[in-house]
Structure 1
């Protein structure tokens, strides 16, 4: 479990907004400043937008000695962000924002890359690794992949986008694939497309709900979810609704296949899809409170959110930290005062 002194240096005053497994002993967390923890933040008079808040890329390398296991890089000007692993040329974590900023770290390198916004049709919402390639999906059916540092290949000319499409808020919000020649991208109001390695085709999808996430399962089927967690399963043009016994008020932020099932999460909990039915995941309480974001790679499932982080490996759950417990321990050990920045004055008139 994370030590209080590491928590105070890395995460105190920040909220986790994404997590990534690079390997079973290399985890990353994206964490953004929590302005509600600033001194007298209510006196600001307005809420700072994401670009005004620091984004940390926090590394947790368990193979390192305890005193150097944790570290972070500081990014500024990043708005809504996502991250994933790139394996082309070098193994690196890549972070992007919808405003086009790109940061990469790993294999002895770390730094900003060229802004990609001018190359896309919309801001990038999702990065995902398929086989050994890092793909990106974004608004106005933006889709592409990273060939190497500062070089991306975009499918702008391959995916149609008419003026009528633009008025209907077309995708994409997420992507996944069984291989480079069998990819699905989803978003907008029932906007689902598939790629066979040569051409894109719009899928005849049975719903016009706003779509958020997609997962290509090891069972050979595709799982697509959107508004209030409504989820469909199928492939090609054949789909059916996944049953659910409970109302899920928030769309899922992540859906991943781990071991023998689909895992789904939002800020309110973790669910499984078993027997084409959405059920509450039967996991330890400290894992449930870590709901928010999911990542899996190298035999490990990582779960992290506003209230904690935990991972599953070889059938055993391990707690990384509980936010509330860590705050209490930091206060008891004198690690709390002076850590939270009084930055509110920067946003006054």
Structure 2
């Protein structure tokens, strides 16, 4: 598959690293790119690259640049249909069939002040039951209902409970409390994770804290196709269970910076994605690179961040220098920077 010529690659991708990706379908996706800079005096630019491989004029390539966003993530929503990216300071980019560009920051539309008077930090966005959620510190979740329309679950009386002494002078709540990630079996069966072993289930009305047997810093959560919920910590250790029952199912010795930041169930197994490379649980119950247990896996330069197609049949993965599609049997390299040197 050839998406770019050398000229179009240099015009659209050269000088940037791929930081995240979002799936519409097997022919349409969006990549979040960050400018490669040697100087720290100026923020790197963020580029949102939209690719379409279908239609009479394929490939269709378009991008939007901004110098305002930092530490962003992106997801594809289907109710409404759009790509949405949010950065740690709640700045928003969105793209649908009619428009592409920045919106008002979430904090300019609704309050992001928590009960202690601090500003919530947005850790990522995720798609849950077709909706986009901005996932924030201090157990905060914000549901997107359309352009410049966000709903704070706490404001509508459906937010996760806070500790009784939350408004006291304790200074480490940011480390103790979630959230970092969100996943769901349905609209009435959510799991949110983050902080020091801070894992919660939401049944659509009430929240219940799950007795995860660790106080490690949690990074990802996935409601999987085998009926279990999988949770990873900062070093890639994995726990699995549901509601009141949890067991560690894999150990990991991944260094900080290599830990999973994405977790998805795909074709009957858990896959974990980092900024560089894919991981899986092996027979010895260890988290190892996917290439260690099967042949033909592309390098970590073009794999890592993960999103799954809505029908569950394709996996999109992106590393810092390229991207691939995977249908469970065949890997298709979409593009790689090394093809254009």
TM-score, with length taken from structure 1:
0.83
| Residue in structure 1 matched with residue 330 of structure 2 by the alignment | 316
Distance in 2 (alpha carbons) for counterparts of 1:125 and 1:112: 18
Aligned mate of 1:11, from 10, 13, 22: 13
Q: Residue 305 of structure 2 contacts residue 318 of structure 2 at CA under 8 Å; is this kept in 1? A: yes
Query: Aligned ranges for residues 194-273 of structure 1 at < 5 Å?
Result: 194-244=201-251, 247-249=253-255, 250-273=258-281
* Structure 1 position 10, deviation (Å): 1.1
Higher helix residue share: 1
| Match status 1:163 vs 2:188 | no
Distance in 2 (alpha carbons) for counterparts of 1:166 and 1:178: 34
* Structure 1 position 322, deviation (Å): 2.1
* Structure 1 position 280, deviation (Å): 3.3
Query: Aligned ranges for residues 131-170 of structure 1 at < 5 Å?
Result: 131-157=129-155, 158-161=159-162, 162-163=166-167, 167-169=172-174, 170=177
* Structure 1 position 227, deviation (Å): 1.6
285-294 or 270-279: bigger deviation = 270-279
RMSD: 2.1
| Residue in structure 2 matched with residue 119 of structure 1 by the alignment | 111
Distance in 1 (alpha carbons) for counterparts of 2:65 and 2:129: 29
Distance in 1 (alpha carbons) for counterparts of 2:337 and 2:303: 12
* Structure 1 position 163, deviation (Å): 3.1
* Structure 1 position 277, deviation (Å): 5.2
Distance in 2 (alpha carbons) for counterparts of 1:287 and 1:220: 31
* Structure 1 position 315, deviation (Å): 2.4
Aligned mate of 2:298, from 283, 286, 295: 286
The CA deviation string for residues 215-267 of structure 1, in whole angstroms up to 9 with x for no partner, is 110111101101211111111121111224x6222321111111111111213
Q: Residue 303 of structure 2 contacts residue 324 of structure 2 at CA under 8 Å; is this kept in 1? A: no
Distance in 1 (alpha carbons) for counterparts of 2:146 and 2:242: 31
| Residue in structure 2 matched with residue 23 of structure 1 by the alignment | 25
Question: Does the residue aligned with 1:212 lie in a helix, a strand or coil?
Answer: strand
233-242 or 261-270: bigger deviation = 261-270
| Residue in structure 2 matched with residue 79 of structure 1 by the alignment | 70
Query: Aligned ranges for residues 19-58 of structure 1 at < 5 Å?
Result: 19-36=21-38, 44=39, 47-48=40-41, 52-58=43-49
Distance in 1 (alpha carbons) for counterparts of 2:172 and 2:286: 34
Question: Does the residue aligned with 1:6 lie in a helix, a strand or coil?
Answer: helix
Structure 1's unaligned 5+ residue stretches are 37-43, 329-349
Q: Residue 255 of structure 1 contacts residue 262 of structure 1 at CA under 8 Å; is this kept in 2? A: yes
Distance in 2 (alpha carbons) for counterparts of 1:197 and 1:219: 22
Distance in 2 (alpha carbons) for counterparts of 1:125 and 1:115: 15
Distance in 2 (alpha carbons) for counterparts of 1:65 and 1:55: 29
The CA deviation string for residues 111-166 of structure 1, in whole angstroms up to 9 with x for no partner, is 32221125334122221112222222111111121122222111225322313676
TM-score, with length taken from structure 2:
0.85
Structure 2's unaligned 5+ residue stretches are 115-119
Cα 1:115–1:228 change in 2 (3 A) is same
Q: Residue 52 of structure 2 contacts residue 58 of structure 2 at CA under 8 Å; is this kept in 1? A: no
* Structure 1 position 25, deviation (Å): 0.9
Cα 1:286–1:315 change in 2 (3 A) is same
Q: Residue 18 of structure 1 contacts residue 29 of structure 1 at CA under 8 Å; is this kept in 2? A: yes
Q: Residue 124 of structure 1 contacts residue 138 of structure 1 at CA under 8 Å; is this kept in 2? A: yes
Distance in 1 (alpha carbons) for counterparts of 2:171 and 2:141: 16
| Residue in structure 1 matched with residue 3 of structure 2 by the alignment | 2
Distance in 1 (alpha carbons) for counterparts of 2:3 and 2:99: 26
Question: How many residues in Structure 1 have an aligned counterpart in Structure 2?
Answer: 314
| Match status 1:70 vs 2:61 | yes
* Structure 1 position 185, deviation (Å): 0.8
Q: Residue 287 of structure 1 contacts residue 303 of structure 1 at CA under 8 Å; is this kept in 2? A: no
Q: Residue 72 of structure 2 contacts residue 86 of structure 2 at CA under 8 Å; is this kept in 1? A: yes
Cα 1:311–1:226 change in 2 (3 A) is same
25-34 or 3-12: bigger deviation = 3-12
Question: Does the residue aligned with 2:298 lie in a helix, a strand or coil?
Answer: helix
